[in-house]
Structure 1
């Protein structure tokens, strides 16, 4: 069994566990659900952490849910900008499955996590049982990427989580129907309070890693072959109706390649749905049911 090294103050579901990657990085993860349940590996967005999947746990009841923090995020080691790549994060995900003795797992990927999932479908398809993408596809809208480039690595000018939650609510027109409590919970997954203000919950060097691979004047990498490689795997897609990263045209092309793709649109959400919406929970329940 993995060492249960310390408790996570942020995660109400219990202990944060740690394993050591092949290059020596200490990486954090959590386990939820029965040990003999269907393994579901949850991979978060670019700057996000394993806590993002807590709202999805009711829909994943009965599954063995594996939630990890990439290196440089949350409670994992900060290992430097050069190591914050999709290739490295995919290798770390496989190393975690190996550490747990899991030969095959379903993969639920939010944003960057879904990109990793598609890459793994091409490289090690035999390790995957199914793939569910949360607001991501093989083609990323430039407007959404430019917004990420403008925000990443920047600490907001706010003195508390409550203050930044108000700012986020005012500056997120794609998200509707959320209460002040909802925004506060969302803010707590992005920032932490420190003396004098707020701190990021990820390594600021992630800014340099992102910009190293981002050039708005150049075409983006072609990920359609990775989507093609998912053939034969049960696939589902959850999309925010107001997403600025995943366009309806990209979803339509994904469906032409995979007519069996189960698509769920989440009203009142941009990039990304929180996975606590009734439509998202129903989509996850249906997906895991198809896997079973």
Structure 2
């Protein structure tokens, strides 16, 4: 990526004076309704929409820098998946599964009043994107999947299972930010300010003054209930859906990822219709896309059909 391209990414947000707007949409679940919050950037009337969806315990604010850099071209929409961030929690924790998440995203896209969207999904957000993009009549036009594929390596599942759903509390916000940074150390060598930028939105202060994560600990219920047989069946379905994706796909892998193997990436390129891949050096699961060079990778993929490089 050229220095001029990287500089353009850094300066684009300043020139556009990007200001996020907080919104919400009402979605349905089998026992009622719930709110899904989202952050929106760029011209609200722009029909070109980029949906950015975060990982398992994260929030839509992970994409602030991506959104600021791309909102000159896109209306960028960054939802908090139900049970995370500012969104409601589900009354039945067994509904914290891909079919519910996909249904919520279909509702969101209907609210946005557009026929197609482009999709940037990190980890869980990539699974949601692959599932939606592989369905007949999907509104997903282009798909970037960040360090995720139909096959998830077992060691990574063990690692994630070791912390997800733990109801931990912190004496101070800084303590919570540091704890979240330790859990996400494989994102890359981020500065203290960068960790604060993406981790502070994950935390909220309780009535007694302590701090806790915003996400519902119950998201661990279906995660922990999975069996090897169920995992194999889910992988087979995801491969089928991935093979049905008609539009361009970019698979991003962290060089040191324990979740997405190089073998799986090669298989995705082989089985897909128009799949490219790129590996980000020096990081694991998952590249944070705070660095201008990483953001430039996303910008090149999403906007090159508009004549940019």
Shorter-chain TM-score bucket reads 0.7 to 0.9
Q: Which residue of 1 aligns with 2:222?
A: 209
Aligned: 1:225 with 2:240: yes
Confirm whether residue 60 of structure 1 aligns to residue 70 of structure 2: yes
Residues 130 and 291, structure 1, Cα contact 8 Å, conserved in 2: no
Change (3 A) 1:89 1:174: closer
Alignment partner, residue 276 of structure 2: 262
Matched residue SS, 2:33: coil
Is 1:114–1:132's contact at 8 Å kept on the other side of the alignment? yes
Are 1:42 and 2:52 matched, yes or no? yes
RMSD across aligned positions (CA)? 2.4
Alignment partners' CA distance in 2, 1:200 and 1:173: 17
Q: Tell me the secondary structure at the aligned position of residue 162 of structure 1.
A: helix
| Counterpart Cα distance in 2 of 1:56 and 1:48 | 15
Distance 2:224 2:51 in 1: 27
Structure 1 pair 286–211 and aligned structure 2 pair: CA distance change class (3 A): same
Q: Identify which range, 41-50 or 191-200, moves more after superposition.
A: 191-200
Give the Cα–Cα distance (whole angstroms) in 2 for the partners of residues 101 and 259 of structure 1: 28
Matching residue of 1:248: 262
Return 196-205 or 93-102, whichever deviates more.
196-205
CA contact (8 A) 1:238 1:280 kept: no
The answer to whether the Cα contact below 8 Å between 1:234 and 1:291 also exists between their aligned partners in 2 is: no
1:282 deviates by 1.4
Structure 1 segment 25-104 matched on structure 2, within 5 A: 25-34=34-43, 35-61=45-71, 62-80=73-91, 81-104=93-116
| 1:143 and 2:149 correspond | no
Task: State which drifts further: 66-75 or 30-39.
Answer: 30-39
* Pairing 1:277–2:286 present: no
Q: Which 5+ residue runs of structure 1 have no aligned equivalent? A: 1-11
Give the number of equivalent residue pairs.
279
CA contact (8 A) 1:41 1:66 kept: yes
SS in 1 for 2:39: strand
Task: Write 1 or 2 for the structure with the bigger share of helix.
Answer: 2
Q: Which stretch of the first structure deviates more once superposed, 110-119 or 183-192?
A: 183-192
Q: CA deviation at 1:135?
A: 0.9
Tell me, yes or no, if the aligned pair for 2:187 and 2:283 is still in contact at 8 Å.
Answer: yes
Summarize the Cα distance change of 1:119–1:259 in structure 2 as closer, same or farther, 3 Å threshold.
Answer: closer
Report the Cα distance in structure 2 between the residues aligned to 1:148 and 1:37, rounded to whole angstroms.
37
In the superposition, relative to structure 1, how do residues 254 and 218 fare at CA in structure 2: closer, same or farther (>3 Å)?
same
Structure 2: runs of 5 or more not aligned = 1-17
Q: CA deviation at 1:134?
A: 0.9
| TM-score normalized with structure 1 length | 0.86
After superposition, the C-alpha distances for 1:193-246 in whole angstroms (9 at most, x for unaligned) are: 44453211111111213223x22576432221111111x301112221111111
Normalising by structure 2, what TM-score? 0.81
Alignment partners' CA distance in 2, 1:142 and 1:263: 22
Pick which of 39-48 and 168-177 moved more: 168-177
Answer whether contact 1:264 1:280 (CA < 8 A) is retained: no
User: Is this contact kept in 2: 1:73–1:201, CA < 8 A?
Assistant: yes
